[in-house]
Amino acid sequence: MRIRIPIVTFMAISVGLLGACNLDPGKQPWDPPSAAAQPATPAGRVACTQHDPLRRPLFGDLHVHTGLSMDARVKDTISTPDDAYRFARGETIGFPPLAEDGSQTRKARIDRPLDFAAVTDHAEWLAETTLCTTPGSEVYDTDSCRIFRGDGDTLISRILGLEGFRKNLTGIVSLFGRNEEVCGEGLRICRAATRTAWQEIQDAAERWYDRSEACSFTTFHGFEYSRSPKFTKIHRNVIFRNEIVPELPISWIDTPEEPEFWKKLRQQCNDSGSGCDAIAIPHNPNLSNGQLFSVWYRDLSPEEQREQAQLRAGLEPIVEIVQQKGDSECRNGLYGVVGGPDELCEFEKIRDMGGLEFEDCEEGAGWGAQKGTGCISRLDYARYALVEGIRERERIGVNPYKFGFIGSTDTHLANPGGVAETDWMGGSGGSVSKMLTVGDQRRPELFRSAGGLAGVWAEENSRGAIFSALQRREAFATSGTRIAPRFFGGWDLPKDLCQRPDLVETGYRDGVAMGSDLPPAPRGAGSPRFAVNALRDPEGAPLQRLQIVKAWLGADGLFHQSVQDVAGDPANGASVDLTTCEPTGTGVDSLCAVWEDPDFDPAMAAVYYARVIENPSCRWSTWHCLDIPEAERPDGCSDPRVPKTIQERAYTSPIWFEPASP
3-state DSSP of 416-430: CCCCCHHHCCCCCCC
Decide if 368 contacts 231 (C-beta within 8 A): yes
What pLDDT, on a 0 to 100 scale, did the predictor assign at position 144? 87
**Beta strands 278-283 and 234-240: pairing type?**
antiparallel
Do 618 and 489 belong to one domain?
yes
In a domain, 51, yes or no: no
Do 32 and 17 belong to one domain?
no
Do 124 and 207 belong to one domain?
yes
In a domain, 247, yes or no: yes
What pLDDT, on a 0 to 100 scale, did the predictor assign at position 16? 32
In a domain, 529, yes or no: yes
In a domain, 43, yes or no: no
How far from the centroid of its chain's Cα atoms is residue 170's Cα?
25
Beta-sheet strand order (sheet of 590-596): 512-513, 484-490, 529-535, 590-596
List, as one string, the DSSP characters of 254-284.
T--SHHHHHHHHIIIIITTTSS--EEEEEE-
In a domain, 47, yes or no: no
Kindly list the averaged pLDDT for each block of 10 residues, start to end, along the chain of length 662. 31 31 67 97 96 98 97 94 98 95 95 98 96 95 87 51 37 71 94 98 98 98 95 96 98 94 98 98 97 95 97 98 97 96 95 89 95 95 98 97 98 98 90 92 92 98 98 98 98 97 98 97 91 98 98 97 98 96 96 97 97 98 97 96 97 96 62
Q: Report pTM.
A: 0.94
Decide if 510 contacts 495 (C-beta within 8 A): no
Handedness of CA 359, 363, 364, 366 (dihedral sign): positive
φ, ψ of residue 59 in degrees (nearest 5): -120, 135
Do 459 and 406 belong to one domain?
yes
In a domain, 117, yes or no: yes
Identify the H or E element spanning 220: strand 218-220
Structural domain total, the chain: 3
Last residue within a domain, chosen from 164, 183, 202:
183
Per the DSSP assignment, residues forming a β-bridge with 458 are: 56
Do 165 and 104 belong to one domain?
no
Look at residues 130, 218, 190 and name the one whose alpha carbon lies nearest to residue 456: 218
What DSSP character marks residue 47?
A: P
318-336 burial code (b ≥16 CB/10 A, e <16): bbbbbbbbbbbbbbeebbb
In a domain, 231, yes or no: yes
In a domain, 521, yes or no: yes
> Which residue range(s) make up the domain with 333?
23-38+57-134+184-467
Do 355 and 267 belong to one domain?
yes
Question: Maximum distance among all alpha carbons in the chain?
Answer: 82
Compute, in degrees rounded to 10, the torsion defined by CA atoms 256, 262, 263, 267.
120
List Cα–Cα distances, 453 to 59, 209, 423, 541, 590, in angstroms: 7, 19, 16, 16, 20
List, as one string, the DSSP characters of 73-91.
HTTT----HHHHHHHHTT-
What pLDDT, on a 0 to 100 scale, did the predictor assign at position 245? 98
Look at residues 284, 578, 288, 627 and name the one whose alpha carbon lies nearest to residue 448: 284
646-659 burial code (b ≥16 CB/10 A, e <16): bbbbbbbbbbbbbe
Do 428 and 546 belong to one domain?
no
Do 153 and 192 belong to one domain?
no
What pLDDT, on a 0 to 100 scale, did the predictor assign at position 556? 96
CA gap 220, 197 in Å, rounded: 16
Do 120 and 161 belong to one domain?
no
Do 410 and 280 belong to one domain?
yes
Last residue within a domain, chosen from 152, 183, 214:
183
Do 560 and 547 belong to one domain?
yes
Do 549 and 502 belong to one domain?
yes
CA gap 203, 82 in Å, rounded: 9
